[in-house]
């Protein structure tokens, strides 16, 4: 199975512009995993089911899907076509549901197109951290700032209060309050404690426009995390990013 997945990843990455960007991102995950099999996978915001099928190709024992309650009817349409024996579906808000807090940690978390919809983005990255086993792998993809002058900065573009003109210009929904730059996402991952942070190159495999509008990262939770490493810089030891009451 592992050899077959690696061969598939190589074929996908060679196809270039004919590839859906999430398919290319999955291929990069296969390379990043380096033949290891994640027994427990969590997918947040499963969308159209295509990523779900790909993740099942990694042969996990359990694949947990989490999506907003309003998405249940839409997701059920494509879930009917799948083998549900290994799929656990949770209809809940990932950030604010008590059901999420009771989940056991995962070997791999796949989270695409979700981060920028939440106003508490750094806290969300910390929640992803908490749901990963030590050594677990995170795939995090998000839309990023659209302003040309901010693309290469380590910053966040605030889009509040909502503006119809700006949302139409950038093709964004009104519930998006701010867009981080790719450098900001990388900084948040490092601040939370992730290691082996790698910027995915899926956008360059598809189109330059996509590479400017979206960013994805692969990162690993260390086996022995250094608690409070960010605050230790300032002499305040014992605190963790996202751990505020």
Write down all domains in the chain, each with its CATH number in brackets: 2-144+181-221 (3.40.50.150)
CA distance 124 to 223: 21
Beta bridge partners of 217: 140, 199
Q: What angle do helix axes 121-130 and 182-192 make, rounded to 10 degrees?
A: 40
What is the structure's pLDDT at 220?
97
| b/e 60-88 (16+ beta carbons within 10 angstroms → b) | beebbbbbeeeeeeebeeebeeeeeeebe
More confident residue, 2 or 237: 237
Beta bridge partners of 198: 218
What is the structure's pLDDT at 17?
47
What is the structure's pLDDT at 5?
53
Lowest mean pLDDT segment, chosen from 34-48, 98-112, 188-202? 188-202
What is the structure's pLDDT at 3?
59
- Sign of torsion over alpha carbons 126, 100, 45, 85: positive
What is the structure's pLDDT at 6?
55
Q: pLDDT by residue (tens digit) across 140-156?
A: 999 999 899 999 999 99
More confident residue, 226 or 204: 226
Arithmetic mean of pLDDT, 38-46: 98
Among 173, 176, 197, residue whose Cα is nearest residue 187: 197
What is the structure's pLDDT at 210?
80
Q: 56, 26 in Cβ contact below 8 A?
A: no
pLDDT of 7 > 70? The answer is no
> pTM of the entire structure?
0.90
């Amino acid at each position: 199975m592992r050899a077959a997945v690696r061969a598939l990843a190589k074929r996908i990455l060679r196809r270039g512009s004919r590839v859906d960007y999430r398919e290319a991102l999955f291929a990069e995950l296969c390379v990043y995993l380096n033949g290891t099999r994640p027994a427990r996978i969590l997918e947040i915001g499963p969308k159209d089911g295509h990523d779900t099928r790909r993740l099942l190709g990694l042969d996990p024992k359990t694949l947990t899907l989490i999506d907003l309650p309003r998405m249940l009817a839409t997701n059920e349409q494509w879930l009917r076509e799948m083998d549900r024996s290994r799929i656990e579906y949770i209809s809940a808000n990932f950030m604010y549901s008590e059901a999420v807090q009771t989940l056991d940690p995962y070997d791999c978390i796949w989270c695409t197109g979700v981060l920028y919809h939440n106003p508490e983005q750094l806290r969300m990255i910390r929640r992803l951290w908490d749901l990963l086993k030590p050594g677990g792998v995170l795939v995090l993809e998000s839309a990023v700032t659209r302003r040309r002058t901010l693309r290469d900065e380590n910053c966040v573009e605030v889009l509040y209060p909502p503006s119809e003109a700006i949302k139409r210009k950038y093709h964004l929904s009104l519930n998006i309050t701010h867009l981080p730059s790719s450098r900001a996402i990388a900084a948040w991952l490092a601040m939370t404690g992730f290691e082996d942070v790698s910027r995915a190159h899926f956008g360059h495999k598809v189109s330059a426009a996509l590479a400017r509008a979206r960013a994805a990262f692969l990162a690993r939770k260390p086996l022995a995390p250094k608690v409070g490493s960010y605050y230790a810089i300032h002499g305040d030891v014992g605190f963790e990013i996202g751990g505020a009451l």
